[in-house]
Amino acid sequence: MNMMSATDCLLQMCDEQFDLEDYQSGVPRWCTGCGDNAILTAVQRLCRDEGLRPEKTVFVSGIGCSSRFPHYMKTYGFHGIHGRALPVAEGVKMSRPDLNVFVNTGDGDCCSIGAAHWIHALRYNMNITVFLHDNQIYGLTKKQASPTSPIGTKSNTTPRGSYLEALNPLTVTLGVQNVSFVAQVVDWVPEVLFDVVKAAFHHRGLSFVRIVQRCPEWLPKSLDPWLHDPQRLLFLNHEKGLQASEGLSRLYKNQIIHDPSDLSRARDIASSIDPIPVGILYRNPEVPCYEDLRNSGMLRTTAMAKSGLNAEFDKFTVWPEAEQAQAA
Cis amide leading into 87 (omega within 30): no
Please say whether the beta carbons of 269 and 281 come within 8 A: yes
In which residue ranges of the chain is pLDDT below 70?
Answer: 1-15, 296-300, 322-328
Which pLDDT value is given to residue 322?
A: 64
| Neighbour tally for 237: CB within 10 Å | 15
DSSP helix, strand, coil percent of the chain (3-state; round to 5): 40, 15, 45
Which pLDDT value is given to residue 316?
A: 86
Computed on alpha carbons and rounded to an integer, the radius of gyration of the chain in Å comes to 22
What the chain holds in terms of domains, given with CATH numbers, is 15-290 (3.40.50.970)
Which pLDDT value is given to residue 6?
A: 56
Which pLDDT value is given to residue 14?
A: 59
Q: What amino acid occupies position 251? A: L
DSSP calls for 192-253: HHHHHHHHHHHSSS-EEEEEE--BTTTBTTTTHHHHH-GGGEEEEE-TTS----HHHHHH--
Q: Are strands 129-134 and 207-212 parallel, antiparallel or unpaired?
A: parallel
Which pLDDT value is given to residue 118?
A: 98
